[in-house]
C-alpha cells in the first residue's frame, strides 16, 4: 500500500484526489490545506477546464492538517504530492524530502533553474524519489507516439515539430508575473520541452524568435540543434489575444519509415481534432490510430500509477524523473535567453 499526502487542495489537488481513488493499493491518508472549509471537506467551489467540479468529500480517517509540518511528521504518509502554485514547489519539496518522504511535485518543477538544482540535490542526499508531474506523455496521443517510436518498427527518429498555443488567460491575474507563474514558457511550453527532451535528449543549442510581454516570452518559434546534426526539431508556443481559439496543440514526428501526426484545438467552444492521430507509412497509407477517448483525467490516473509504482518498487521513473524535468527547465531558460538576446544560446550538455 502506497500512502499519499496531498499538499494543496485546489483544482489539481482535486484531480489528483480523484485519480488516486481509481488506483488499487494506493490510499490518500492525509491532506494539508489552509482554507478552513476545504480542510473540512467542502470542495464544492473547485472548478477547472476539464473534469468534474469539486464536491463535498468524506475525510473520515484522513489526516487533515492546517500546518504543513504536521503532515510531514505523519508516519502514515509515504509520498507527498505537492499541488501548490509553482513558487512554493522548491522549498516544500526539499522540506518533504528532508522529512524522509518521497515527493511528486506538479509541473513546472520550479520558477528558477537554481531551485531545480537544490531539489535534485536534496533528493539525492535524502535517498528519496523526486518526481515531477509532466503528464503529457500519458495523454493518449502522446502515449501512442511514444509507443510507436519505442517499438522500433519504423526506424530511428529524424525530428519533429511541436505546437502548443492558447488564448491569453485573462482570468489569471498573475500569469505574466515571473515570480508567480512565469507566462506561457513555464506554464505551457514546458510540456513540449519535456517531451522533446524525452524523445531526442538535451539539445546543444536553441534559436528562438518571437515577441515578449512584461519581459517574458509571449509567442515564439524555436529551432533545436542536437549533436546529431541530422535531427530537425522545432517548436511553436505562446499566447494569442483572440479568445475564439483558447487551446491548440499538435505534433508532426518524423521517423525513417513513418510520420506521426495529430492536431487538436478548441474553437468557438468546441474541441475537435483538426488532424486525428495518424501514421503515414512507407507504402503511402494513412493509418488512423486507435486512441482511447473519454475522461481527460485518465491521463492523470496513468501518471499517478507510474508514480506510486515507482514508490512501491523503489525505482526511478524514466518519464517523470527530476533530472528530466530539470533539463526541460534548462531548455526553457535557454529559449528565453535566445529570444531576449536575439542570438542562439548554447546549453552545456
Residue 236 has pLDDT above 70, yes or no: yes
| Domain assignment of residue 206, yes or no | yes
Tell me how far apart the alpha carbons of residues 337 and 349 are, in angstroms, rounded to a whole number. Answer: 17
The single residue listed with the C-alpha cell 510540456 is: 191
Whether residue 240 is found in the same domain as residue 306: no
Q: Helix-strand-coil percent breakdown of the chain, rounded to 5?
A: 35, 30, 35
Could you tell me if residue 283 is inside a domain? yes
Task: Locate 217 and state its grid cell.
Answer: 516570452
Express each pLDDT in 79-126 by its tens digit: 999 999 999 999 999 999 999 999 999 999 999 999 999 999 999 999
Same domain assignment for residues 129 and 238: no
Q: Evaluate whether residue 100 is within a structural domain.
A: yes
* In a shared domain, residues 111 and 153: no
Q: Do residues 199 and 64 share a domain?
A: no
Q: What angle do CA 295, 301, 304 make, to 5 degrees?
A: 155
Picking from 54-58, 228-232, 234-238, 292-296, which range would have the lowest pLDDT averaged per residue? 292-296
Domain total of the chain: 2
Cell, residue 310 = 515507482
- DSSP-derived secondary structure for 115-142: HHHHHHHHHHHHT--EEEE--GGGSHHH
- Of 49-58, 148-157, 168-177, the range with the highest mean pLDDT is 148-157
pLDDT value at position 144? 97
Which CATH number do you get for residue 7?
3.40.50.720
Domain containing residue 63? 2-133+301-318
Both 40 and 79 in one domain: the answer is: yes
Judge whether 199 lies within some domain. yes
Closest to 137 measured CA to CA, from 324, 345, 330, 273: 324
Q: Are residues 207 and 79 in the same domain?
A: no
Does residue 163 surpass a pLDDT of 70? yes
Q: Are residues 227 and 341 in the same domain?
A: yes
| pLDDT tens digits, 214-223 | 999 999 999 9
First to last CA, the chain: 39
Question: Which pTM was predicted?
Answer: 0.95
Within-domain flag for 342: yes
Query: Is a pLDDT exceeding 90 seen at residue 260?
Result: yes
pLDDT band at 291 (very low <50, low <70, confident <90, very high): confident
Residue linked to cell 526539499 = 94
Q: What one-character DSSP code corresponds to residue 109?
A: S
**Residues facing 233 on adjacent strands:** 160, 224
* Mean pLDDT to the nearest integer, 33-61: 90
Contact 26, 50 (CB under 8 A): no
CA angle 120/114/239 to nearest 5° reads: 105
337 falls within a domain: yes
* One domain, residues 74 and 183: no
Q: Is residue 155 part of a domain?
A: yes
Give me 286's grid cell: 494513412
Tally of CB atoms within 10 A around 342: 9
The predicted structure's pLDDT at residue 47: 80
> Are residue 305 and residue 338 in the same domain, yes or no?
no
Residue pair 16/6 in contact (Cβ under 8 Å)? The answer is: yes
Q: Mean of the per-residue pLDDT values for the chain?
A: 95
- Percent of the residues in the chain that have a pLDDT greater than 90, as a whole number: 91
pLDDT above 80 (res 327)? yes
323 occurs within a structural domain: no
Asked whether residue 190 falls in the same domain as residue 288, the answer is: yes
Q: Do 141 and 289 fall within a single domain? A: yes
Residue 48: predicted pLDDT = 74
In this structure, the answer to whether residues 129 and 141 fall within a common structural domain is: no
The CATH number of residue 180's host domain is 3.30.360.10
Mean pLDDT of 46-74: 91
Amino acid at each position: 500500500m502506497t500512502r499519499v499526502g496531498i499538499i494543496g487542495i485546489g483544482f489539481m489537488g482535486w484531480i489528483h484526489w480523484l485519480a488516486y481513488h481509481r488506483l488499487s493499493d494506493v490510499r490518500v491518508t492525509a491532506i494539508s490545506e489552509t482554507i478552513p472549509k476545504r480542510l473540512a471537506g467542502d470542495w464544492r467551489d473547485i472548478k477547472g477546464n476539464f473534469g468534474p467540479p469539486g464536491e463535498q468529500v468524506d475525510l473520515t480517517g484522513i489526516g487533515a492538517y492546517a500546518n504543513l509540518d504536521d503532515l510531514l511528521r505523519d508516519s502514515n504518509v509515504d509520498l507527498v504530492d505537492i499541488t501548490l502554485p509553482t513558487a512554493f514547489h522548491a522549498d516544500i519539496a526539499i522540506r518533504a524530502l528532508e522529512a524522509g518522504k518521497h515527493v511528486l511535485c506538479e509541473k513546472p518543477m520550479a520558477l528558477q533553474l537554481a531551485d531545480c538544482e537544490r531539489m535534485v540535490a536534496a533528493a539525492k542526499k535524502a535517498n528519496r524519489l523526486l518526481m515531477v508531474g509532466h503528464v503529457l506523455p500519458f495523454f493518449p496521443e502522446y502515449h501512442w507516439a511514444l509507443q510507436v517510436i519505442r517499438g522500433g518498427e519504423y526506424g530511428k527518429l529524424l525530428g519533429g515539430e511541436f505546437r502548443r498555443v492558447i488564448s491569453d488567460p485573462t482570468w489569471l491575474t498573475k500569469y505574466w508575473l515571473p515570480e508567480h507563474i512565469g507566462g506561457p514558457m513555464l506554464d505551457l511550453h514546458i510540456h513540449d520541452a519535456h517531451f522533446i527532451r524525452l524523445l531526442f535528449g538535451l539539445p546543444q543549442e536553441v534559436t528562438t524568435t518571437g515577441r515578449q510581454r512584461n519581459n517574458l516570452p509571449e509567442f515564439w518559434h524555436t529551432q533545436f540543434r542536437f549533436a546529431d546534426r541530422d535531427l530537425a526539431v522545432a517548436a511553436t508556443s505562446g499566447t494569442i489575444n483572440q479568445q475564439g481559439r483558447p487551446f491548440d496543440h499538435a505534433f508532426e514526428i518524423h521517423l525513417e519509415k513513418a510520420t506521426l501526426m495529430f492536431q487538436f484545438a478548441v474553437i468557438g467552444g468546441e474541441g475537435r481534432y483538426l488532424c486525428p492521430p495518424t501514421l503515414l507509412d512507407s507504402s503511402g497509407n494513412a493509418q488512423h490510430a486507435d486512441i482511447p477517448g473519454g475522461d481527460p483525467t485518465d491521463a492523470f490516473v496513468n501518471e499517478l500509477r507510474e508514480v506510486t509504482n515507482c514508490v512501491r518498487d523503489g525505482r526511478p521513473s524514466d518519464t517523470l524523473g527530476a533530472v528530466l524535468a530539470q533539463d526541460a527547465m534548462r531548455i526553457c531558460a535557454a529559449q528565453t535567453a535566445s529570444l531576449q538576446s536575439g542570438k542562439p544560446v548554447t546549453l552545456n550538455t
